[in-house]
Amino acid sequence: MATYQEFIQQNEDRDGVRFSWNVWPSSRLEAAKMVVPLSCLFTPLKERPDLPPVQYEPVLCSRPTCKAVLNPLCQVDYRAKLWACNFCFQRNHFPPAYAGISDINQPAELMPQFSTIEYIVQNGPQTPLIFLYVVDTCLEEEDLQALKESLQMSLSLLSPNALVGLITFGRMVQVHELSCEGISKSYVFRGTKDLSGKQIQEMLGLTKPAAPVQQGRPAQPQDHSVSSRFLQPVHKIDMNLTDLLGELQRDPWPVPQGKRPLRSTGIALSIAVGLLEGTFPNTGARIMLFTGGPPTQGPGMVVGDELKTPIRSWHDIEKDNARYLKKATKYYDALANRSAVNGHCIDIYAFALDQTGLLEMKCCSNLTGGHIVMGDSFNTSLFKQTYQRVFTKDYNGEFQMAFGGELEVKTSRELKISGAIGPCVSLNVKGPCVSENVRLGGTSQWKICGINPFTTLGMYFEVVNQHNAPVPQGGRGAIQFITQYQHSSTQKRIRVTTIARNWADAQSQIQHIEAAFDQEAAAVLMARLGVCRAQSEEGPDVLRWLDRQLIRLCQKFGQFHKDDPNSFRLSESFSLYPQFMFHLRRSPFLQVFNNSPDESSYYRHHFVRQDLTQSLIMIQPVLYSYSFYGPPEPVLLDSSSILPDKILLMDTFFQLVIYHGETIAQWRKAGYQEMAEYENFKQLLQAPLDDAQEILQTRFPMPRYIDTEHGGSQARFLLSKVNPSQTHNNLYAWGQETGAPILTDDVSLQVFMDHLKKLAVSSAL
Amino acid sequence: MAESYVKPGNQEKGWNDPPQFSYGLQTQAQGVQKRNFLNKRVPPPQLDGSQVSLPSGAPLPAKPLSPTLPLAPPPSTVVLPARRLSAVDCTALSASTHTECEATIEDVMGLLDWALTACRTTVKRQVCDEVSKRLTLFQEMWISGKLSSPVKKRMYYLAEELKKQNWDSADETHRSLIVDYVNEVSQWMVGVKRLIAETRNLPTEVLNAEVEGPSPKEDTTQNTQ
């Protein structure tokens, strides 16, 4: 088993892929019986400090319906200078530049260690990156001041050639003209009237008689003097924009008692999208929306201005009592799609004590690959530091963020691509590799407007081989991922990853298939399917579906005697999977209870874009225990791990909880850490803080930080996550009293497993 | 030269607001590959032969110390086992925060004015005036005691780096200041940023010519054109 773990890890490190199955069942029928679909988590721009990009264009297969990139799986005839495409078997000639290659002088893209390779392609002018700030002015004074300062600070983090623009909104929407001289001017729009992109461009004076842009060719804005009134390079405009930001006032319209401020977020976003659509289509841009409350006016409004009408809750939605939900969602969906077509991503920074309408607006970020960050106030470290991290640089000193990603997938003919789940939109490109089914299906190409080294897509495949077709001897299936994108240095790059896995006949080689199961990847991939279903199905139905899949998996791969639950065993490669499913069922991704619609949207947004390790942390938080008795160690996420003389560190991705056991808390209160002879106690208290620090310093978004103790109200964050093996119901059934009982009627992992075993072995099913 | 410190978050405005790391600590963390060391899990029992109802996966705890009064003190003679290398001590502010800045405003302004004077030869007048306006504001804030000691010290460092033509270092220092002390510097720091950007683009003859000009310690009134 160690070798498969290593194999899986090596592949993730090199190619950014984690497959649910690493040996593939060779027929459609058998693959369906596997329960977990053949699928993978793929990180297109995985950080590879050891992979320098090559400075030439990739060599493509000449068959027009194929166009796969030359890769290590291709057969090569060095004498005849021919190569055979491993996807369509077309024989191709090498281009003239490859005349000197031989089997001892191979180009990089043919070497096995370059299964992932990056090309820098030089065509077209290099357009600068664009950052358009869209700022809500209906904020408390302190909040607005903190936001202004963060925006001013961000000007120092941008590169000098980046273009910036500013739109502010409240009751009206103002598009600010950026100029270096004279009085600052702005165009004011009513916050209630919806305008088309064309109308917006006309009103801003951006349209002029020009040659029509050819379909399919990226528009080249020839003359930027028109748009430069609103979008200027940082190096020219930084001083004036800093002053302009500094002078921003709260929205001047008075807010009567019992009312919310009139906030025209919908129009503001529409103008931002229209402005960029007309001036810089098909080039990397971020629209950054900063909002401190829900949209209350105009198209896209989420709640009225009367405070006595609260913003929709899950209860309201279930009872079909959310008046603005459908219309607002449709409105933002249309904006999101327009933005995605133009290659622009939309970020939402929503900081308020109440909901801000993330449920309706989430598609703006989900479809474009933009960020959503949620918090209580702009005047917090969570906002300030998370926002700084948008501008994080890589090991080469360049921004990690990248733009305009277009991912194309090619498969060998025994496979088809069913769909993808992640921060992307379909490009609706049909082809030989495309099958139906799953979200964002019906295509082999997707667009990810905003992409970074951690963006991870879930890709789902279908085996199409017929059941009685023989397995090619030693045959392997192959998949190629081709990602074109605009690097933050504005270079156009292409990253190509080509992988292969063995086929196996499920009838005779099931043990090989089993041994190559990646339960961690499978858990995350199934979870993404579940989250996807939860968008359109009722909660209990999704859980029933998840449970059914788990039971079927156990029936297929468990070893047991019929109707004898005690005989049930799972091999090591499946041993963690039921536990993942148990925690997934209780997670905020599938349980909306106790979360607002905005919160659920927020958690789901991050869940469907993170890499495997972070996604697993979200499903089943990590728990580490610190004590005097040994070094820090991982412990069961279970109530029995909560002990009086231990400190626990729990990471749920969104929160970092440091919990001090009862005795530790009492010692801390008594002040032993201040006394010289109890220096080791001081160190013990410090240890989890140090370990938490690394996470706090790097994670995006920054997690909440909870320092709590036995009996503390914040301890609920820990108590609600641990498996409640000990509750008020079964406390006195235990022989030995260890751990803290959890006051819940939730099913424990033990009960869950008992039921699972009963159902799996039952001959009735 | 950026400080490394951690401040608590704003607990008033955001519940469980995480601590605030200085720019120095943040950039330090960026360069290092993520270690992902807190990602181990313990497999549950139940799927092996045992019918144990008590999860046995957790390490057997030693007899828990009784929490009832009187409270027994923590073990003081136990040597704490070696931990992972801990990061910077979270709670201590950098020592340099507490010592006063030794440079004077004249020292700093002298260096900055040298750069501004050099810029006036080729850079648009309006830009230079804008920069000058902000430098004046900086000077006023210093003199009226509105700037904290770390800001003053780092500004002196920045000015020296500027004079030595270490552009990247000066730029990095300006960034660390605007990130860590935005409320003190936001009104004028962009002028300093611009000054660095314009000065580094000056032709070398102009820079070197100015080097022979008045030195920072002399009376700054001689510099005005």
Helix then strand then coil, in percent of chain A rounded to 5, is 35, 25, 45
Selected for mutation to probe chain B from A149, A158, A239 (highest B CB count within 10 Å) is A239
What are the φ and ψ backbone dihedral angles of B15, each rounded to 5 degrees? -65, 140
- Give the CA angle between residues A745, A749, A754 to the nearest 5°: 105
**Do B129 and B78 touch, CB atoms closer than 8 A?**
no
| A632:B25 CB<8 A | no
Residue type, B124: K
A604 vs A740, more confident: A604
CA distance A489 to chain B (A): 18
| B59:A379 CB<8 A | no
Q: For A626-678, how does the pLDDT look when each residue is reduced to its tens digit (9 = 90+)?
A: 999 889 999 999 999 999 999 999 999 999 999 999 999 999 999 999 988 89
Output the pLDDT for position A605: 97
How far apart, in Å, are the Cα atoms of A361 and each of A590, A597, B139? 20, 12, 46
Give the whole-angstrom CA distance, residue A242 versus residue A227: 20
Which whole number is the average pLDDT over A591-616? 96
B87: nearest CA partner in chain A: A690
Give the whole-angstrom CA distance, residue A272 versus residue A132: 7
Selected for mutation to probe chain B from A5, A615, A694 (highest B CB count within 10 Å) is A694
Task: Say how many Å lie between the first and final Cα of chain B, rounded.
Answer: 33
Which whole number is the average pLDDT over A709-719? 93
Report the 10 Å Cβ neighbour count for A186: 17
**Do A486 and A492 touch, CB atoms closer than 8 A?**
yes
Residue type, A341: V
What is chain A's length? 765
pTM for the predicted model, two decimal places: 0.91
Report the 10 Å Cβ neighbour count for B112: 27
Output the pLDDT for position A765: 59
Which whole number is the average pLDDT over A25-44? 94
Sign, CA dihedral A77-A78-A80-A84, equals positive
| B58:A635 CB<8 A | yes
Selected for mutation to probe chain A from B6, B16, B125, B184 (highest A CB count within 10 Å) is B16
Q: For B101-111, how does the pLDDT look when each residue is reduced to its tens digit (9 = 90+)?
A: 778 899 999 99
pLDDT at B95 over 70: no
Task: Say how many Å lie between the first and final Cα of chain A, rounded.
Answer: 31
CA distance A469 to chain B (A): 37
Output the pLDDT for position B88: 38
Q: Percent of chain A, pLDDT > 90?
A: 81
Please tell me which of the candidates A180, A672, A693 has its beta carbon nearest to residue B74. A672
Which whole number is the average pLDDT over B192-196? 95
pLDDT at A446 over 70: yes
B100 vs A41, more confident: A41
pLDDT at B98 over 70: no
Residues of B in contact with A667 (CB under 8 A): 71, 73-74
CA distance B34 to chain A (A): 8
Residues of B in contact with A704 (CB under 8 A): 15-18
Q: For B131-142, how does the pLDDT look when each residue is reduced to its tens digit (9 = 90+)?
A: 999 999 999 999
